[in-house]
A and B are shown apart, each in its own frame.
Chain A
Amino acid sequence: MKTVIEVENLVKVYNGKTSTVAVDGISFSIGRGRIFSFLGPNGAGKTTTVRVLSCLLKPTAGDAWVLGNSVKDNQVAIRENIGMLSENHGLYEKMTLEDNLNFFAGFYLDDKRTIEGRMAELLEEFNLSNRRHDKVGTLSRGLKQRASLIKTLIHDPAVLFLDEPTAGLDPKAAVELRKYITHLRDKMDKTIFICTHNLVEAQTLSDVAAIIDKGKIMRMGSPVELERDLFQSSSLRIESTRDIPVEMPRQIARELNITGRSEGKHARFFLPPGELDNLVPFIVKSLVEGGIPILEVAREEHTLEDIYLELMEREGNA
């Protein structure tokens, strides 16, 4: 497997009135034809990392390579081979969709017929053929997002950076896009870097996911590995007929030195391996004593969401 993106002790500090360490010494590498997800809360440093990799920002320390080119001195070579879907759609609102796409494609492709072919294909793929001659300013938010995706893909780049690709899309469009992203990896051998808050997205799409918070990578691995690594344990799901106060499961968990939380009528506890026998009766008893009627107690598979929330919780308690 060839490495397409390599990041080594990357640091990015924004120097303003106060200086912010947005990315704090991260390292990872992404192989060709892989989907890598960056998962983290607002302000974690996801966009900043992507901007350094796409040569929009210079690293404060450390280095990064895209297709073997360093972001420090081979910027044009990197820019020629990447496609970036940014937080802003980045299209000219007063120009038509077609003019926008022609403008951007013209920097990578010389042949008008190639551009036209790719444009028609992508407009069809993203259901925008009928809006081709409309000004971008007249498109809805979700349609602008799809238009921006076409702009990202039109020059057929080997590496894609997608910063929250499904933000603003309706559920059907989001599902279709995820399918398309998988297709880009499987059939076109693209290397794809996705920033997201969407855990389901990270879980279903990525070969490797990294959880980032406050500029540091907390955990990294395949979704399956992450689950195993974090919870060689099981999760206990308890359903009540009544809303469970947020504090109650936390209190119980604290006594047992585990983590737990509630969400409406459900509570969830993460149990270390082999202690089911001791802990489950205690948890159930405490809840009942706290006046919570219990409808169901079940063991559950972990999702990436559990891992994420669990990590953030530990972080918050620390």
Chain B
Amino acid sequence: MLRFKMLFKVTLKDMRENMKNKQISLVMILLPATFTIMIPLLLIVLPLKLMSHEDLLEAGMLVPGLEGAEAYLVYNWNTIILPFFVMVPLAITMSISSDSWAGEKERRTAESLLLLPLTDEELFLAKVLASLIPGLVITWACGITLTIIIDITMYPYLGYAFLPNASWLFHQLVLTPILAFFSIFINVWISYRSKDTKSAQQMGGLVFLVFIGFLVGGFLGVITLLTYVITLILGIIDIIFIYISPKVFSRERIMINT
């Protein structure tokens, strides 16, 4: 039986520490600001304001069956904003989880943590939660903010609230947790095997390959199909990770490569 009350003490300690970590807090502020405010304003709101009537007619050609501002919004939403938004859960969880074990080793506190009367599974899970909770909370907060910004700025053009729609809900409620888990598992593992945070981050950058998949999908115009396929594959990988990780995790490994 996992003793959540005990392992949560480690999670809380980590979350407090991370808020004081400059690099992590920078990612947690800059990334949401970019994806929820900067990109929609620069890509959609401002250009629409500056477009002439002819420009809008031309924009209508972007998406068959739609016209003007709506076509422009849907095109940019599907090819750019939505694929880029996967960066939010990926980068936040990566910045936190690459520090999870490597940071303890670097600051020479790993041994104290390993001496605690927790099982290996509990310790491993405590570190996963310390990335998962902020990763999900921040991504969802960004999602809600983006929804509000898009709806308020686009209502005058569309006459209805564009968000939330089905693909956005899927993105937030299904894809986000799956992506977050994926990034955390990979990065906690890399962190566990690295000597310090820097080398953990270099390796951990690999998770952004997933993001390229989404980007390509967006440009090919097959966003939905490819999204579902990638989500399914990542979901399966997550389940394998959840099953295997606590069994492979060992204190000795952390002690020996400190």
Task: Give A contacts to B, CB under 8 Å.
Answer: 14, 16, 51, 54-58, 75-76, 79-80, 82, 84, 86, 88-95, 103-104, 106-108, 151
* Chain A neighbourhood of B20, CB < 8 A: 94
B196-215 vs A, CB cutoff 8 Å, 1 = contact: the mask equals: 00000000000000000000
Query: How many A-B contacts are there with CB distance less than 8 Å?
Result: 62
Tell me whether B114 and A107 are in contact (CB under 8 A): no
A-B contact pairs, 22 of them (CB 8 A): A51-B255, A54-B115, A56-B115, A56-B251, A56-B252, A57-B255, A76-B118, A76-B119, A79-B116, A79-B117, A79-B118, A80-B117, A86-B112, A88-B109, A88-B111, A90-B108, A92-B109, A94-B17, A95-B17, A103-B13, A106-B9, A107-B6
- B244 interfacial contact with A, CB 8 Å: no
Interface residues of B in 1-36 (CB under 8 A from A): 6, 9, 13, 16-17, 20
Give B202-250 interface residues, CB cut-off 8 Å to A: 250
Chain B: interface residue total (CB-CB under 8 A): 22
Q: Are A108 and B117 touching (Cβ within 8 A)?
A: yes
The 8 A-B pairs at the shortest CB distance, nearest first, are namely A90-B112, A79-B117, A88-B108, A80-B117, A56-B255, A107-B116, A86-B111, A57-B252
Answer yes or no: B107 CB below 8 A from chain A CBs. yes
How far, in whole Å, are A108 and B118 apart by their CA atoms in the complex? 10
Which residues on the A side are within 8 Å of B116 (C-beta)? Answer: 79, 104, 107
A56 to B17, Cβ gap below 8 A? no
A95 to B114, alpha carbons, bound, how many Å?
Answer: 18
CB of B50 within 8 Å of the partner chain: no
- The smallest C-beta distance from B110 to any residue of chain A, in angstroms, reads 8
Report if A103-B251 is in contact (Cβ < 8 Å); known contacts: A56-B115, A94-B20.
no
**In the bound complex, do residue A92 and residue B255 qualify as a contact, i.e. CB atoms below 8 Å apart?**
no
Bound: A107/B6 CA distance, A: 7
Indicate if B42 sits at the interface (CB-CB under 8 A): no
Answer whether residue B256 sits at the interface, using C-beta atoms and an 8 A cutoff: yes
**Which residues 133-164 of B sit at the A interface, judged by CB distance below 8 A?**
none
Chain A hits for B114, CB < 8 A: 56
One of A56, A75, A94, A104 near B111 (C-beta < 8 A)? A56
Q: A80-B117, A108-B117 known; A58 and B252 CB under 8 Å?
A: yes
Q: Which residues of A contact B256 (CB under 8 A)?
A: 14, 16, 57
Q: In the assembled complex, which residues on chain A have CB atoms less than 8 Å from the CB atom of B107? A: 92-93
Contacts of A14 in B (CB 8 A): 256
User: What residues of chain B lie closer than 8 Å to A88, measured between beta carbons?
Assistant: 108-109, 111
Contact with A along B113-130 (1 / 0, CB 8 A): 011111100000000000
* Residue from A56, A89, A106, A108 having most chain B Cβ neighbours under 10 A: A56
* C-alpha gap A44/B108 in the complex (Å): 22
B9 CB contact (under 8 Å) in A56, A80, A82, A107: A107
**In the complex, chain A residues whose CB is within 8 Å of the CB of B17:** 92, 94-95
From residue B257, how far is it (CB to closest CB) to chain A in Å?
9
Does B119 lie within 8 Å of A84, measured CB to CB? no
Residues on B with beta carbons closer than 8 Å to the beta carbon of A92: 13, 17, 107, 109
Contacts of A55 in B (CB 8 A): 251
Shortest beta-carbon distance from A23 to chain B in Å:
14
In the bound assembly, the distance between CA atoms of A103 and B12 in angstroms comes to: 10
**Beta-carbon contact of B252 and A104 below 8 Å:** no
- Known contacts A56-B252, A92-B17, A106-B9, A84 near B115 by CB under 8 Å: yes
Per-position 1/0 for B88-119, Cβ under 8 A of A: 00000000000000000001110110111111
**Measured between alpha carbons, how far is A12 from B220 in the docked complex, in Å?**
57
Complex Cα gap A91–B20 (Å): 16
Name the residue on A nearest B13 (C-beta).
Answer: A103
Residues A90 and B109 in contact, CB atoms below 8 Å apart: yes
Nearest chain B CB to A108 CB, angstrom units: 7
CB-CB < 8 A to A151: which residues of B? 112
Task: A296 to B55: give the CA distance in the assembly, Å.
Answer: 108
Q: How many angstroms between the C-alpha atoms of A16 and B256 in the bound complex?
A: 9
Q: Which residue of B lies closest to A51 (CB)?
A: B255
A79 to B122, CA, bound (A): 14
- Contacting pair A79 B115 (CB below 8 A): yes
Instruction: Give A194 to B109 CA distance when docked, in angstroms.
Output: 21
A103 touches B115 (CB 8 A): no
Known A51-B255, A57-B255, A80-B117; contact A104-B112, beta-carbon cutoff 8 A? yes
Q: Which residues from chain B contact A84 at a C-beta distance below 8 Å?
A: 115
Least CB distance from A57 to B in Å reads 5
Given A51-B255, A79-B116, A92-B17; 12 other pairs, CB 8 A cutoff: A57-B256, A79-B118, A86-B111, A86-B115, A88-B108, A91-B112, A92-B109, A94-B17, A103-B9, A103-B13, A107-B9, A108-B117
- Does A90 contact B9, Cβ atoms closer than 8 Å? no
Contact B255 A107 (CB under 8 A): no
Bound CA span A14–B16, Å = 35
